Structure 1
């Protein structure tokens, strides 16, 4: 499903022309579907929209997402100089150096916009460290519970667009957002997905498990138990397995968690596990980010990924691996673990899978309640449309002289 590009009529104030940039500054494309659908809506309003990307893959993904509107926006590519590229070769193992350098070295481009819309918080450096006078608008690329999504850096954004009441209330509780500078709009990524689709990736009728570990060196089950999980599935013939981790897990070998002060070297997948008919290994294709696997599988197996909230758009069994012995009960950082079984090791996996469908009767209501709290929806209206209206309304009020 892609946004259609049709001219929309709004009150006079909304027709003041703004120069709005959509910045995609990441190594992968997984953040694109969270804000790109809004581009179509702003273009339909007649706004001056520029798509700013740091890779050709990001631009291609944006063009595909906005489809009919692709020719009605401008495109710009940002890059870093030779010295920064040399430094990045070493520094990228510890910090997102290239992303930061992209911000610093393209300040003149960013200064030409009334606002920049971003799906991540690294862009806050434009205000906090690089003194750029531009309106920063933030829509998180996911709706998960990890503490990293609720940091003080959120205060640097002029407008924060939120998926639902859960995220809004937690940010308000921590004083990260303020009245007049935030709005609940929903989840634009859902606008691009056919939620009735049921992709098939195996030629049998076995239940399919989606194993979706995060990349965080502490929170992810991959580091201590991931290979063991794959080996267990390789030995059995009752289930299919889709191994589709967070796309950043296999993007680099060395992972650093600044939040948890941990550095770990990612393990390689043994070749003996790669060519089995009942196991599909995908370390970062388009299927990993467009919900194809989420819609195809029957049971979710994971840990800290926000993708579980996309999963419960259609409530189904969930199993979470507590590989780091977290005290998760009553902890908001692990709220999603209340939506399924929690196991401490791979030895508990066979039983958890065997009872997953029966136990789902206990968790279905929790999953539905969590979905309703996490994602704001309005029948007949898209999240991208609501987000576009909030952006234009905010900019017109914040900069009434804009023409």
Structure 2
């Protein structure tokens, strides 16, 4: 069975799927090849495989036209992704299975993918509406982390043309392997809070809250601060946004705009406090229940909205002026939220926490043996 894993976005995708590709490659009869779009993917895949102590897999760049290169230079990465997929359909048609972790790959069927079975290895925690989630219908097999996401997809009618399997979250397997590499430390040895804003303009708290948070943490003595936005926040702006943010760094404020630690759970595993808006990384943080604060400067009507379910796991702050008072009481408030954190984490990722990579690989083989 010939299987292609496709990495069509930034290297964060590696941490969701590389361990599954390796588990599949170890199963007799499975021939796995990986394709990448971003050159940085090469180093991340090598890093993961060293940590897992498994051999590298055949790795090929997606051939790129002049049009794709222009779009990349202009940082029109969503359009670039579609161009690359369209230009490589025939290359992928030689496989029995194509595995992706982006909903976007569902467009391959309309582009002429007619030989392989298309498998979605979902990443994220499923609380947020994504405008291309309708493409889940195009996948022949959808691998989800837990019951929460599977139920959501079923209720939305997104699994009507395919099958689903609950496998857990392979990224936890990768983190277990790489976690010894990175320890976050500050010279003052205080614990640190993580500020992890999303990138979508209508949801992100960064424009309204970033300066208030950084100034507030510099003025108190309980926590250090790590500012680690979603990597896609820096798609546009030709690097200006990164440089402006990095100027805010100080001995008690670490600003990260692109290191491995943004991608591999280094910050979410070690932070004492999470501050964010709609990023699914909060669920990675809750592998160990800890205090959370959620920011709502847009004053969205979030209560009873399933897309904001994670906002029930900590205090929600509408006014930036109230952020630092919420930080001061976060530890005390955590006892109220901890039971719900534990419950929702289990529903999101299932149990046991580790072993999802092998479960996903076995699910793909089982599915193919029965079609």
TM over 0.5: yes
- Partner of residue 311 from structure 2, selected from 322, 332, 337: 337
Bigger mean CA offset, 35-44 vs 201-210: 201-210
Matched, 1:310 2:281: no
* Structure 1 counterpart of 2:184, from 200, 222, 235: 200
Hey, what's the Cα distance between the residues in 1 that align with 2:126 and 2:241? 23
Specify whether residues 215 and 397 from structure 1 end up closer, same or farther in structure 2 by C-alpha distance, changes over 3 A only.
Answer: same
Please give the per-residue CA displacement for 1:104-146, whole angstroms capped at 9, x wherever unaligned. 1112211111011101011111113345432110012221411
Check conservation: 1:247, 1:283, Cα contact below 8 A: yes
Segment of structure 1 superposing worse, 62-71 or 276-285: 62-71
Does residue 361 of structure 2 align to residue 361 of structure 1? no
Tell me the alpha carbon deviations over residues 320-341 of structure 1, each in whole angstroms, 9 at most, x when there is no partner: 0001111111100100000001
**Displacement of 1:271:** 6.2
User: CA contact under 8 A between 1:162 and 1:183: conserved in structure 2?
Assistant: yes
1:187 aligns with 2:169: yes
Distance 1:69-1:205 versus aligned 2 partners, 3 A rule: closer
Structure 2 distance, partners of 1:45, 1:270, is 46
Q: CA deviation at 1:204?
A: 2.2
| Residue matched to 1:168 | 150
Paired residue for 1:45?
Answer: 27
The equivalent position to 1:252 in structure 2, one of 209, 219, 236, is 236
Match of 1:240 in 2: 224
* Contact kept in structure 1, 2:193 and 2:225, CA below 8 Å: yes
Q: Cα gap change, 1:200/1:69 in structure 2, threshold over 3 Å: closer, same or farther?
A: closer
In the other structure, the counterpart of 2:55 is 70
> Does structure 1 residue 209 correspond to structure 2 residue 193?
yes
Indicate whether 1:346 and 2:320 are aligned.
yes
Q: How does 1:75-86 map to 2 (within 5 A)?
A: 75-86=59-70
RMSD, aligned α-carbons? 2.3
Secondary structure in 1 matching 2:11: coil
In the TM superposition, residue 70 of structure 1 has moved relative to its aligned partner by: 2.6
Alignment of 1:377-388 (within 5 A): 377-378=351-352, 382-388=355-361
Q: Alignment partner of 1:338: what SS?
A: helix
* Cα distance between partner residues in 2 of 1:271 and 1:77: 32
Residue of structure 2 in register with 1:117 after alignment: 99
Distance 1:387 1:333, change over 3 A: same
CA-CA distance at 1:244 after TM superposition: 0.6
| Unaligned stretches of 5+ residues in structure 1 | 1-17, 255-264, 399-403
Task: Go from structure 1 to structure 2 and tell me whether the alpha carbon gap of 1:166 and 1:277 turns closer, same or farther (over 3 Å shift).
Answer: same
The answer as to whether partners of 2:234 and 2:242 remain within 8 angstroms in 1 is: no
Aligned counterpart for 1:282 among listed residues 235, 249, 256: 256
What's the counterpart of residue 108 of structure 1?
Answer: 90
**1:64 offset after TM fit, Å?**
2.4
Distance 1:216 1:230 in 2: 20
- The residue that corresponds to 1:29 in the other structure is 11
Q: Distance in 2 between matches of 1:179 and 1:101?
A: 25
> Structure 1 residue 96 and structure 2 residue 81: aligned?
no
For 1:121-140, list aligned pairs within 5 A. 121-140=103-122
Q: Deviations over 1:282-310 (max 9, x none)?
A: 01100111111112210000001000000
2:33 alignment partner, SS class: strand
Do the aligned residues in 1 keep the contact of 2:269 with 2:284 (CA within 8 Å)? no
Contact 1:51 1:75 in 2 (8 A): yes
Task: Say if 1:214 and 1:305, in contact at 8 Å, map to a contact too.
Answer: yes
Distance 1:144 1:203, change over 3 A: farther
Q: Does the residue aligned with 2:233 lie in a helix, a strand or coil? A: coil
Does residue 1:292 correspond to 2:277, yes or no?
A: no
Match of 1:54 among 11, 29, 37: 37
Q: CA deviation at 1:267?
A: 8.4
SS across alignment from 1:193: helix
Distance 2:38 2:133 in 1: 27
Q: Verify the 8 A CA contact 2:273 2:291 in the aligned structure 1.
A: yes
TM-score of the superposed pair, with normalisation by structure 1: 0.85
